[in-house]
């Protein structure tokens, strides 16, 4: 068999809180998407190296002011967190909690690649949940430090009346800053394995992977550190994720690492069973490269260029909106070959602007470019490209009483925008560009504009990007248009061109 050579990280991009399963010869992955919509991306691979986005669990999680980014409300850093993905007797399940709605969501489908997901909700927070199917019963195991177990109904839609609902175990406290969380639960060869992360304040003082195991579901549980390595990157531990096997019974783990502004990036690591423990890595280390006994496949990009040449008003799966979009205010068919973003709400900042269309960024370097037809903008409108996190930067055009200005802005520290440079322009066509540098956490975004798409002029000052927990997401690049005075204007984006180095 021709083997696949896998290089770590598999993506230098924000794919956090991963869970992975194998069904037959296919591997499926879910990850956190928080305030990006559609949410809970499902990715597929046949060899663990080449992954493709095949769909999302939901188009929108809730329909309210916060999810719709209306009246100053939002769900930054909330939405869906740390989903559990499982397959049982022909059905796929995804479950997670949301800190804004304070609900536990359970979705299920018979067709993970093209089917519809049935939704159920349970009141309350089940923090970082893990679904476990065990001899006709269903459990969710969850919590931070105080790990609880709750039994669900057989159809996995509600808490089972009279079922198990109790504290399962209390994890270590001495020398620990962040106690065990991020549970992944398995029953393997008759034993129960609960895999967590924790963050000690002693020793290496970095996130590490912990395993608890028991012969009985309700314990008692033994404990072992099964992985503690940073791959030489600023003492940022690679941890939290899933273990799974291949059809040849070779075992692997997918974990992630905090990588500052670009986000939390995934690694595939070998697993070796030693005395009944799933020990991760090679001699405890994360390898930069491994050979996997699975055939090579066609690699597909995580972030794409797009000429907006669509036959129907449906975008490629690589795109996600910042919060729920207003689907009446965007189109790729009103003017064929262009993305049209219309204004329908008044906003004072990109962070409060609806219908910002985003993709991930990638390290070590990447660049996004767009071309804008601005002839139908109104006074007060602001449109362009954004490097999106709480500490954001934009480059684009703002329309004022005396004309159109090419403009660069940054977050003023209070959620608003501060203009750092602007120049009056005459034409209705403008090209703008953002270059990202994530190498060794330099985390710099630089902004440019052009009148012809060839001769570029830097504008403003480089943005020092910061990963902040109020957004809890790596930087995204986005196309935006919003009104500050009156609605009804629009911008046509001719294309989005993307390059990764």
Q: Does domain 4-292 have CATH number 3.40.50.10860?
A: no
Pick the CATH number of 320-500 from 1.20.140.10, 2.60.120.200, 3.40.630.10, 3.40.1080.20: 2.60.120.200
Enumerate the domain spans of the chain.
4-292, 320-500
Task: Flag whether pLDDT at 429 surpasses 80.
Answer: yes
Cα 20 to Cα 254: distance, rounded to the nearest angstrom: 7
**Structure token digits, residue 305:** 């260029």
Q: Which pLDDT belongs to residue 2? A: 84
- Asked if residue 47 lies in contact with residue 93, where contact means CB atoms within 8 angstroms, the answer is no
- Asked if residue 166 lies in contact with residue 149, where contact means CB atoms within 8 angstroms, the answer is yes
Cα 375 to Cα 428: distance, rounded to the nearest angstrom: 5
What's the pLDDT tens digit per position in 163-172? Answer: 999 999 999 9
What letters, b where the CB count within 10 A reaches 16 and e where it falls short, cover 327-339?
A: eebbbbeeeeebb
Cα 327 to Cα 2: distance, rounded to the nearest angstrom: 46
pLDDT mean across residues, the chain: 97
What's the pLDDT tens digit per position in 4-13? Answer: 999 999 999 9
Backbone angles phi, psi at 352, to 5 degrees: -115, 15
Q: DSSP letters of 460-488?
A: S--EE----TTT-S--EEEEEEEESS-S-
Cα 409 to Cα 396: distance, rounded to the nearest angstrom: 9
How would residue 198 be classed by pLDDT, with cut points 50, 70 and 90? Answer: very high
Q: Which pLDDT belongs to residue 190? A: 96
Q: How many residues does the chain have?
A: 501
What's the pLDDT tens digit per position in 362-394? Answer: 999 999 999 999 999 999 999 999 999 999 999
Choose among 410, 379, 413: nearest CA to 393: 410
Task: Flag whether pLDDT at 216 surpasses 80.
Answer: yes
How would residue 417 be classed by pLDDT, with cut points 50, 70 and 90? Answer: confident
What's the pLDDT tens digit per position in 432-467? Answer: 999 999 999 999 999 999 999 999 999 999 999 999
pTM: 0.96
What's the pLDDT tens digit per position in 312-353? Answer: 999 999 999 999 999 999 999 999 999 999 999 999 999 999
Q: Which pLDDT belongs to residue 331? A: 98
- Asked if residue 344 lies in contact with residue 330, where contact means CB atoms within 8 angstroms, the answer is no
How would residue 115 be classed by pLDDT, with cut points 50, 70 and 90? Answer: confident
The answer, yes or no, to whether the previous bond of 9 is cis (omega within 30 of 0) is yes
Q: DSSP letters of 191-209?
A: EEEEEEEEEESSTT-S-EE
Q: Which pLDDT belongs to residue 238? A: 98
Quote the percentage of the chain above a pLDDT of 90.
Answer: 96
- Asked if residue 46 lies in contact with residue 27, where contact means CB atoms within 8 angstroms, the answer is yes
Q: Which pLDDT belongs to residue 1? A: 66
Q: Which pLDDT belongs to residue 450? A: 97
Instruction: Tell me, yes or no, if the two domains 4-292 and 320-500 fold the same way.
Output: no
Place of tokens 């090209």: 431
E-state strands within 50-188: 51-58, 80-88, 91-98, 103-109, 118-123, 130-134, 137-142, 146-152, 165-170, 176-188
């Amino acid at each position: 068999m021709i083997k696949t050579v896998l290089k770590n990280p598999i993506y230098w991009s924000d794919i956090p809180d991963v869970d992975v399963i194998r069904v037959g010869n296919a591997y499926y992955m879910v990850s956190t998407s928080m305030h990006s919509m559609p949410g809970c991306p499902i990715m597929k691979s046949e060899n663990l190296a080449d992954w493709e986005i095949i769909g999302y669990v939901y188009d929108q999680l809730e329909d309210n002011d916060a999810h719709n980014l209306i009246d100053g409300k939002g769900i930054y850093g909330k939405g869906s967190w740390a989903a559990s993905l499982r397959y049982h007797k022909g059905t796929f399940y995804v479950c997670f909690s949301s800190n804004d709605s304070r609900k536990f969501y359970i979705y299920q489908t018979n067709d993970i690649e093209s089917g519809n997901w049935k939704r159920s909700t349970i009141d309350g927070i089940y923090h970082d949940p893990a679904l476990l199917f065990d001899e006709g019963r269903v459990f969710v195991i969850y919590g931070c430090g105080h790990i609880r177990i709750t039994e669900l109904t057989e159809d996995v839609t509600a808490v089972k009346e009279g079922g198990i609902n109790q504290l399962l175990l209390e994890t270590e406290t001495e020398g620990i800053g962040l106690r065990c969380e991020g549970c992944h639960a398995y029953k393997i060869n008759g034993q129960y394995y609960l895999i967590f992360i924790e963050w000690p304040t002693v020793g290496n003082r970095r996130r590490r992977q912990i395993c608890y195991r028991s012969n009985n579901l309700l314990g008692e549980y033994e404990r072992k550190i099964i992985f503690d390595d940073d791959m030489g990157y600023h003492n940022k531990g690679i941890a939290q994720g899933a273990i799974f096997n291949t059809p040849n019974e070779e075992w692997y783990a997918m974990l992630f690492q905090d990588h500052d502004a670009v986000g939390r990036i995934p690694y595939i690591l070998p697993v070796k069973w030693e005395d009944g423990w799933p020990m991760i890595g090679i001699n405890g280390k994360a390898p930069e490269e491994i050979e996997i006994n699975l055939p090579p496949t066609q690699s597909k990009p995580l972030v794409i260029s797009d000429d907006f040449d669509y036959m129907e008003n449906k975008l490629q799966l690589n795109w996600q909106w910042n919060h729920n979009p207003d689907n009446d205010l965007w189109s790729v068919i009103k003017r064929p070959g262009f993305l049209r973003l219309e204004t329908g709400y008044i906003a004072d900042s990109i962070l409060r602007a609806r219908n910002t269309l985003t993709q991930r960024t990638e390290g070590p370097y990447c660049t996004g470019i767009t071309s804008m037809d601005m002839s139908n903008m109104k006074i007060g409108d602001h449109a362009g490209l954004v490097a999106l996190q709480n500490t954001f930067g934009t480059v684009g055009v703002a329309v004022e009483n005396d004309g159109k200005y090419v403009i660069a802005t940054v977050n003023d520290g209070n959620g608003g925008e501060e203009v750092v440079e602007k120049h009056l322009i005459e034409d209705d066509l403008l090209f703008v560009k953002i270059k990202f540098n994530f190498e060794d956490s330099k985390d710099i975004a630089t902004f440019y504009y052009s009148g012809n798409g060839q001769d570029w002029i830097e504008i403003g000052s480089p943005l020092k990007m910061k990963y902040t927990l109020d957004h809890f997401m790596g930087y995204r690049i986005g196309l935006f248009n919003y009104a500050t005075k009156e609605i009804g204007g629009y911008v046509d984006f001719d294309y989005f061109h993307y390059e990764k180095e």
